[in-house]
Amino acid sequence: MREHAVIIALLVLSQAAVLAQKWQPLFNGQNLDGWIAKIQGYDVGDNFANTYRVENGVIKIAYDGYEQFDNRFGVLFYERPFSHYRLKLKYRFIGEQAPGAEAWAWRNSGLMIHSQSPQSMRKNQDFPISLEVQFLGGDGQQERPTGNLCTPGTHVEINGKLEEQHCITAKSKTYHGNRWVRAEVLVLGDSLIQHIIEGRVVISYAKPVIGGGVVSQYDPEVKKDGTPLRSGYIALQSESHPIEFKDIRIMELNAQGKPLKKKRP
């Protein structure tokens, strides 16, 4: 019996090691190679005021170079799109919000998935057409769930019903202070998307399509309402409150949701 237990333990460890190898880093911990900035009012690739930077092995979004935020909403895109994958990262809010920013953007950021490309965004466009895994930080007192779904220029179905509400609250806890929070998404094309916070699924939806508002100054040739979203870019959002990201890893999957044999992000 003891020998069987040892064999089973070794098999579990072996499988865990193989699975670990399938997670590939999107962030090298040293620089922003492979990432593309797009900030409202600026050309693609213009990292205004060093908004996106690497410090102490994390991607830091900061506003110490801003006199006023002035609606300079932005996103930091990974350089290529994905369709079926699991992605995980850690985030934490730090510091004080940029001066002149909207009150609703306090401790507010997000991970954009199934996004349009940075090159397809117009110079003055505010948000990319995408699905947002919204990250919110607590104020130390009130409940403020994180891992919510927001839909700039998109719609989804939840339990078979079309949802046109812009932001849908997830069933997650509130995380106060500057602690690191573990977030993950499971994306299977347009058949299933799940937001996972600290190992728990907090919202699930399917059949995302282009549609709705909450984006401005977009190219109408890109925003063709009713178009299914089966793939797209991944991006980290800058919405006026400093935030840090680390341990950004992806595991690409096949159509059945199983890990691909080779991963080259």
Digit-by-digit pLDDT tens for the chain (265 residues) are 454 443 333 333 334 444 556 999 999 999 999 999 999 999 999 999 999 999 999 999 999 999 999 999 999 999 999 999 999 999 999 999 999 999 999 999 999 999 999 999 999 999 999 999 999 999 999 999 999 999 999 999 999 999 989 999 999 999 999 999 999 999 999 999 999 999 999 999 999 999 999 999 999 999 999 999 999 999 999 999 999 999 999 999 998 899 997 645 5
> What are 217-244's pLDDT values in tens digits?
999 999 999 999 999 999 999 999 999 9
pTM of the model: 0.90
Closest among 60, 103, 72 to 236, alpha carbons compared = 60
User: Cα 113 vs. chain centroid, distance in angstroms?
Assistant: 6
| Per-residue pLDDT, 261 | 75
Structure token pair of residue 173: 């806890």
What architecture (CATH level 2) is domain 2-252? Answer: Sandwich (2.60)
- What's the Cα-to-Cα distance from 103 to each of 19, 98, 137, 173, 240, rounded to whole Å? 42, 10, 13, 21, 10
Backbone angles phi, psi at 120, to 5 degrees: -90, -5
Residue 179 is classified by DSSP as -
| Per-residue pLDDT, 13 | 36
